[in-house]
Amino acid sequence: MGHAIGDRLLCEAAGRFEAVVGDDGHVGRLGGDEFAIIWHGPNDQETLRHLAGRLIEEVSRSFKVGGATLNIGATVGIAAGGRDGKRESNLMRAADLALYQAKRSGRGRYAFFSQGMLTAAEDSRLLENDVRDALTKRTMHIAYQRIVDSKTHETVCRESLLRWDHPTRGPIPPQKFIPIIEDVGLIHQIGAWVLQRACKEAMIWPDKARVAVNVSAAQLEGEGLEEVVREALDTSGLDPDRLELEVTESIFIGEDADMLDSLERLRELGVRLVLDDFGKGYSSLGYLSRAHFSKIKIDKDFVHGAARGERDRLAIVQAILALSEGLGIETTAEGVETEQEIDMLTAMGVSQLQGYYFGRPESIEPDSVPERRQVKQKAG
């Protein structure tokens, strides 16, 4: 999307916001794609909830700009005068924290400010220096979780997952430290390290399983990911077909030809592209064929819901499987924890299974691959 088209799109979006707030508010652009809305009407939660819903609904309708049809979304952070602060700067800070929380929840969401967000923000600030130190000293490590064939239960792939054991706080959840890595601009550095390490370690696995590495939207949007992947493959000697790059549906917010081009350049290296957490609602079905994915990963919420007999979740899983079969795409069901889920998913035709039933993520040393230990025990 060119700058001129982008500016016209933002003007169109501002017009829709103004139509929603009417005489009860003012709309202003803060910069980039962020807007501020000053609301002078009632500030009870029900009114503000309805207002946020209207804003999201209006901007989610297609735009006709420059002869093209464009689709975007909106995320809203809400702070109320009096409850959340009196000074303008405090209210803007509160709304910004609420917006950050809403963005983490997904596209088309809104969130109200709460005091807990201030505590979390301060905690994140304190962790920033620790994150930088951990990256410098390489105290983070990679754990791997098995992905198995649904029929034989043999390991066909291992997903690499970044882990951090903080020296004083203990294990820090990835959902807490990964956003910090992105915020401080270190995602490209750590992403390159994970790719290089995962490819190198996969070369010592006796089963020759594939290795999956998660790639964020920031990495895809930045410069040099293609070269980073090529270097990781060249220095490790890993066959490109053994490397899976996992992306989430969130990279497809809006119409982004550049994102598709980035994925195509990666695919041309010979690696396999995997769409993770499918069904969350971000992507259009057209991206499945246009991006030439090799595999779809079905989100664990749908897996668990289908196993509980929830008709809507079951229908979604069935639809995903029918779609993948038609496109010739493999499927992996995430979050598998019970034999009931295994039996159900296998009968439905899922290609691969992943979850705690088959093992939690763990570090793998040269002599700690389960299959290798089993061979040694049998030989002894």
- What confidence score (pLDDT) does residue 344 get? 98
How far from chain centre, in Å, is Cα 319? 22
SS3 string, the chain, reads CCHHHHHHHHHHHHHHHHHHHHHHEEEEEEECCEEEEEECCCCCHHHHHHHHHHHHHHHHCCEEECCEEECCCCCEEECCCCCCCCCHHHHHHHHHHHHHHHHHHCCCCEEECCHHHHHHHHHHHHHHHHHHHHHHHCCEEEEEEEEEECCCCCEEEEEEEEEEEECCCEEECHHHHHHHHHHCCCHHHHHHHHHHHHHHHHCCCCCCCEEEEECCHHHHHCCCHHHHHHHHHHHHCCCHHHEEEEEEHHHHCCCCHHHHHHHHHHHCCCCEEEEEEECCCCCCCHHHHHCCCCEEEECHHHHHHHHCCCHHHHHHHHHHHHHHHHHCCEEEECCCCCHHHHHHHHHHCCCEEECHHHCCCECCCCCCCHHHHHHHHHHC
pLDDT tens string 26-81:
898 887 788 888 888 888 889 999 999 999 999 888 888 877 788 888 889 998 87
What lies within 8 Å, CB to CB, of 163 at 6+ separation is 140, 141, 142, 143, 171, 174, 361, 363
* Residue 110 · residue 53 · CB < 8 Å: yes
Contact 148, 207 (CB under 8 A): no
Could you tell me which of 333, 329, 331 has the C-alpha nearest to residue 313? 333
The domain locations on the chain are 3-113, 124-379
CA distance 219 to 187: 7
How far apart CA 335 and CA 344 sit, in angstroms, is 13
What superfamily does domain 124-379 belong to in CATH?
A: EAL domain (3.20.20.450)
Whether the CB-CB separation of 27 and 39 falls below 8 Å is answered with no
The pLDDT value recorded for residue 320 is 93
Length of the chain (residues):
380
> What confidence score (pLDDT) does residue 278 get?
81
pLDDT at position 377: 36
At 100 the pLDDT is 81
pTM beyond 0.85: the answer is: no
Q: What is the pLDDT of residue 199?
A: 98
Consecutive 10-residue averages of pLDDT for the chain (380 residues): 75 92 88 84 88 91 83 87 71 86 78 81 75 81 96 97 89 87 86 96 95 92 91 98 91 67 93 87 65 92 94 94 94 97 97 97 60 36
CATH of domain 3-113: 3.30.70.270
pLDDT in the model for residue 87: 76
